[in-house]
Structures are given as C-alpha cells and as structure tokens.
Amino acid sequence: MSIDLQPTQTSELADTFGLLSDSTRLSIVLACLDQEQSAGDIAEKLGVSPSLVSLHLRLLRGARMLKSERRGKQIFYAMDDACVRDVLKIMIDHLFIHHHSHEDPGK
C-alpha cells in the first residue's frame, strides 16, 4: 500500500513527529494523555523548570495537541487530539507491551 501525500502534507506530518521527537515535549504529552495536569504538576513530575514546561506547552498548544483551561490562578492542560493520543498508545503498546522482538521463542 502506498500513500501519496502532497509536499505540504508531508511537511506538516514531519512537523508533527518533530514536535514529539523532543523527549521533554513527549513526556509532557504523555503526562496529559489520560488526565489533565497543571503546568506546575508537569514541571514537578518531570523534574524540569516551570519556564521550560511553559515553552513546550506553548508549542504543543500551538500545534493543537494539547488544550488548556484556566481555573483561578492555574492553567490545566489535557490532550486535544484524539488521533495523536491513539498513535502514542499504539506505539507504546507496540514497543513495550507486546514485545515485538526477534528473541528465540525457546528461551
């Protein structure tokens, strides 16, 4: 099966995967995969500075991967793209749950 994309579509797809190629951004998305998180909670969970988390959150919101909701003084972030959530869950399952390795089955 071959998928023919226009050059602009290929570029947009590469940009999307590029956003997730940064381990901090990927960790932020994973933290928000199934539950909303405040920016402070994300920074604490990942052990990085709040300013770094804010920078990455701005990029992820701009790409519409995450959405935000202000409650009082805090802003909470959650997944805004079900397709990205599904792709990540499939990849996690593929890589770490269903061990698709070439190990000898007799071991």
The sign one gets for the Cα dihedral 99, 18, 20, 64 is negative
Does the structure show a pLDDT above 90 at 107? no
Nearest to 82 by CA among 61, 66, 68: 66
Express each pLDDT in 32-80 by its tens digit. Answer: 999 999 999 999 999 999 999 999 999 999 999 999 999 999 999 999 9
pTM (two decimals): 0.84
Q: Are 29 and 22 in contact (CB under 8 A)?
A: no
